[in-house]
Amino acid sequence: MSLEIKIPAVGESITSGLLSVWHKKDGDAVGAGEALFTLETDKVSTEITAEKAGVLKITAAAGSEVKIGETVGTIEEGRATAKAAPASAAQTHDDKSDARTTHGAVEPPAREQPKTPAVSIPAGVARESFEAPAAPSLSAAVAAANLSLSTLSENTAPVAEGRSTRKKMSPLRRKIAQQLVMAQHTAAILTTFNECDMSAVMSLRASQQEAFTKEHGVKLGFMSFFIKATVSALKACPAINGRMDGDDFVQNHYFDLGVAVGTERGLVVPVIRDADQKSFADIERDLAAYAVKAREGKIKIEDLQGGVFTLSNGGIYGSLLSTPILNPPQSGILGMHKIQERPVAEKGQVVIRPMMYLALSYDHRVVDGKEAVTFLIRVKDGIENPVRLMLGL
């Protein structure tokens, strides 16, 4: 007796996905609950597990576009023989991917990558922003969970064309492209800038880090300060915490803030819920929890939905200044950048301070320039006076 392996529904409005990699070979014995393959959609990637034990028969090759409800294989009752069955067309495709070359160096197959490979850490304002004890940063964990996935999905069936190579974009990359173009076409995006002195935050973190970590079991990062400063600024400029809906303006009275994180497979924006009601420790725990979920490949669509405002940091890559693009249907996004020591005037003297440029991109249809400038000044004030943020002032 056999059980069909069908593509399950993984979220509203999702009708298809990419079967990016099989974690088992054709003819392998599988146990109930074991991961069979990874399904990549335009929002998240999901590991699909076996419903019962048996022998796997693959009918859809890795790299195939599949529809919800489509059968991609079967699980036959019984035990795998000592000699593996002849490879199917799907497995032949998989075998050809067993070694890939990057700049002349042959690497092992993606499915054999360790779960936490060494990758760059594009986290919050600094690497410490998403650090948790005995766990990687959020962005590092996301990248680790998706490294092998991105290698296969974004390099599916490359076709050499003389001096160039054509390859199919992943569903997530296509979705990102659509969102960015839509934002440019549907909103009147304008960006305004300011800068903030990071001295006070850096000093406070250095003096309180040990006690904070001992008390709460998680490190005090930079990102929690920016989240709190953003909440304060949104309260002062409520129009930014809203969105256009046809001819109506929808005002949000809650503060679910998305934190944009760059990964190997594209941008993901996990959401910190009710940030206004949470302490610094609560926010850091949320970030640490996302790190664990990302490392284990368990980030869900719900984790990425419902944000009213986004924070994005390009400083970890060395970006000194940029103009972030809105995350529709939101009306604002705060861009943070590299902390760089620069000469500044202070009380008539030239001093060296660790400075950061801030950029607020906003929808000028609903947000006026005065509100945008007020917002950035409020963020700047919070970062330069972090004790006030911690006291809720």
Catalytic residues: 364, 368
SS3 of 351, please? strand
Instruction: Please give the C-alpha separations between residue 220 and each of 216, 243, 300, in angstroms, as whole numbers.
Output: 9, 32, 25
Distance in angstroms (rounded) separating the CA atoms of residues 182 and 190: 15
Q: Under a CB-based contact definition with an 8 Å cutoff, are residues 62 and 21 in contact?
A: yes
Instruction: Please give the C-alpha separations between residue 222 and each of 50, 234, 235, 302, 359, in angstroms, as whole numbers.
Output: 41, 19, 21, 25, 17
Q: Is 311 exposed, middle or buried (0-12, 13-18, 19+ CB in 10 A)?
A: buried
Token pair 């001819």 is found at 247
Q: How many CB atoms lie within 10 A of CB 343?
A: 10
Question: Which stretch of DSSP H or E encloses residue 333?
Answer: strand 332-336
Q: Which residues contact 32 (CB under 8 A, 6 or more apart)?
A: 50, 51, 52, 53
Token pair 């930079």 is found at 222
Q: How many CB atoms lie within 10 A of CB 232?
A: 20
Token pair 């992943």 is found at 170
